[in-house]
């Protein structure tokens, strides 16, 4: 079958953002099984790092830099490009699969695909909603034939808008991070906590600093913390640097800005725990209904045998089997979260159990071949009326 894979943006396979990185890896693996047409947006002057076969120009000029990258707008050339792709390949395409359905460009793809002349020949499948920017989400959801969400939480959101056949197709770990051989043991990992992700307010690396401070007070010795990520928000990066500089723990905190994959893999293998504290209320008090969609860093960490300490937001609770692959700490209660971290750092036997469980889970269920197989099976079930 011919599958048109659509992403709002593409920052290349080395981008630290989960959704865009996942798109690149997923399309490569899916193309080993089916004929795939890949489409995404490029800004004027931007080079194509992936080799997509259907590039859509995006309009960025009137938007602030951060919003422009996360919510590209299709100008006239972009809309004409989308129409041309659907017109030229519409008679062959059987599935239009839209990733990251949260931007004006993704909404344009959905509308034009729904109105296209080939509409009766292909199904439209959407992976995730997370409408931070998209207006009229209920109307748009009604244009979709099926969902392939990355989590139960996302599936519930989508089906609340418009019930459709769905199957959870989670994100997977990049093969680079699945290092063969045994992972380092507890005593061979000098970093206590590692917080990986884009430096944005809702991922709350600033809270990781606070919890490390509280845990250090309780243990009577400093907790070593590394914050690693890409600076998508310069204002927040400045805020984070200032927060670290003012911390009494500053000598034990390292800020790794845009580390390459080789350095990041070494950090995972040197850390006792990965920490992901994304929350509904960000560092500046702004509320987000969906702070995460498809976090990749917990899978990369698990591939190195590094268990996850996650906040209690529903989408993150799905990333952890408490006591087996990591821990869940309260999204709001710093004291209780710090106490749980102290207990985890002082229990090597429990850590070893979680480390083994985390790596085993990823190796069995969260590789790209396994995820692509699951998606192709879902498409087959849809075609046969079994989904």
Give dist(CA 234, CA 226) in Å, integer: 19
198 shares a domain with 123: no
Give dist(CA 248, CA 210) in Å, integer: 10
- The gap from C-alpha 15 to its chain's centroid, in whole angstroms, comes to 11
User: Is pTM beyond 0.75 here?
Assistant: yes
219 shares a domain with 190: yes
358 shares a domain with 222: yes
345 shares a domain with 245: yes
Give dist(CA 264, CA 182) in Å, integer: 18
342 shares a domain with 371: no
C-beta of residue 317 within 8 angstroms of C-beta of residue 283 = no
Instruction: Give the CATH number for residue 119.
Output: 3.40.50.2000
Q: What is the pLDDT of residues 338-387, one digit of tens each?
A: 999 999 999 999 999 999 999 999 999 999 999 999 999 999 999 988 87
pLDDT of residue 63: 55
Task: Copy the structure tokens of residue 123.
Answer: 């199904």
357 shares a domain with 229: yes
Pair type for strands 146-147 and 191-196: unpaired
> Could you give the percent of the chain with pLDDT greater than 70?
88
- The gap from C-alpha 341 to its chain's centroid, in whole angstroms, comes to 24
**What does each C-alpha distance from 216 to 66, 180, 248, 269, 348 come to in angstroms?**
35, 34, 10, 22, 18
Give a three-class secondary structure readout of the chain.
Answer: CEEEEEEEECCCCCCCCHHHHHHHHHHHHHCCCCEEEEEEEECCCCCCCCCCCEEEECECCCCCHHHHHHCCECCHHHHHHHHHHHHHHCCCEEEEEECCCCCHHHHHHHHHHHHCCCHHHCEEEECCCCCCCCCCHHHHHCCCCEECCCCHHHHHHHHHHCCCCECCCCCCECHHHCCCCCCCCHHHCCEEEEEECCCCHHHCHHHHHHHHHHHHHHHCCCCCEEEEECCCCHHHHHHHHHHHHCCCCHHHEEEEECCCHHHHHHHHHCEEEEEECCCCECCCCCECCCCCCCCCHHHHHHHCCCCEEEECCHHHHCCCCECCCEEEECCCCHHHHHHHHHHHHCCHHHHHHHHHHHHHHHHHHCEHHHHHHHHHHHHHHHHCCCC
- The gap from C-alpha 233 to its chain's centroid, in whole angstroms, comes to 17
Q: 251 is in which domain, residue-wise?
A: 175-365
257 shares a domain with 157: no
Instruction: Give 98's strand partners.
Output: 6, 126
- 129 has a pLDDT exceeding 80: no
**What does each C-alpha distance from 327 to 82, 159, 312, 324, 359 come to in angstroms?**
44, 29, 10, 8, 15
357 shares a domain with 372: no
pLDDT of residue 313: 87
pLDDT of residue 13: 45
306 shares a domain with 182: yes
Give dist(CA 82, CA 112) in Å, integer: 7
pLDDT of residue 103: 74
pLDDT of residue 71: 64
C-beta of residue 123 within 8 angstroms of C-beta of residue 110 = no
183 shares a domain with 114: no
Q: What is the pLDDT of residues 263-281, one digit of tens each?
A: 999 999 999 999 999 998 9
Number of domains the chain contains: 2
Q: What is the pLDDT of residues 39-89, one digit of tens each?
A: 877 766 666 666 667 777 766 555 555 555 566 677 788 888 889 989 888
Q: What is the pLDDT of residues 181-239, one digit of tens each?
A: 889 999 999 999 999 998 999 999 999 999 999 999 999 999 999 999 988 788 999 99
- 164 has a pLDDT exceeding 70: yes
275 shares a domain with 162: no
315 shares a domain with 188: yes
């Amino acid at each position: 079958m011919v599958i048109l894979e659509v992403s709002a943006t593409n920052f290349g396979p080395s981008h630290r953002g989960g959704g865009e990185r996942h798109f690149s890896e997923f399309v490569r693996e899916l193309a080993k099984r089916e004929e795939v047409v890949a489409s995404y947006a490029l800004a004027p002057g931007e080079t194509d790092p992936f080799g997509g076969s259907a590039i859509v120009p995006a309009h960025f000029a009137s938007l602030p830099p951060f919003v422009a990258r996360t919510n590209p707008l299709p100008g006239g050339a972009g809309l004409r490009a989308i129409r041309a792709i659907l017109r030229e390949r519409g008679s062959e395409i059987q599935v239009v699969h839209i990733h990251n359905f949260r931007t004006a460009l993704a909404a344009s793809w959905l509308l034009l695909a729904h109105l296209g002349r080939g509409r009766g020949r292909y199904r439209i499948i959407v992976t995730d909603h997370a409408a931070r920017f998209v207006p009229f989400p209920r109307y748009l959801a009604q244009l979709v034939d099926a969902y392939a969400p990355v989590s139960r939480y996302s599936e519930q959101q989508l089906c609340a808008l418009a019930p459709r056949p769905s199957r959870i197709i989670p994100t997977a770990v990049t093969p680079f991070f699945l290092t063969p051989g045994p992972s380092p043991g507890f005593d061979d990992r000098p970093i206590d906590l590692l917080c990986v992700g884009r430096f944005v307010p809702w991922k709350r690396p600033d809270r990781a600093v606070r919890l490390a401070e509280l845990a250090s007070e309780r243990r009577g010795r400093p907790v070593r913390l590394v914050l690693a990520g890409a600076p998508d928000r310069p204002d927040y990066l400045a805020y984070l640097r200032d927060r670290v500089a003012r911390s009494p723990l500053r000598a034990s905190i390292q800020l790794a800005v845009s580390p390459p994959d080789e350095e990041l893999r070494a950090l995972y293998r040197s850390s006792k725990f990965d920490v992901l504290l994304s929350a509904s209320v960000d560092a500046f008090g702004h509320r987000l209904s969906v702070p995460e969609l498809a976090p990749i860093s917990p899978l990369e960490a698990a591939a190195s045998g590094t268990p996850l300490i996650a906040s209690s937001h529903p989408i993150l609770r799905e990333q952890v089997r408490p006591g087996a692959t990591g821990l869940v700490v309260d999204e709001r209660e710093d004291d209780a979260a710090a106490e749980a971290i102290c207990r985890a750092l002082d229990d090597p036997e429990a850590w070893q159990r979680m480390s083994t469980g985390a790596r085993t889970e990823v190796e069995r269920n969260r590789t790209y071949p396994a995820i692509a197989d699951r998606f192709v099976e879902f498409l087959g079930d849809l075609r046969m009326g079994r989904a």
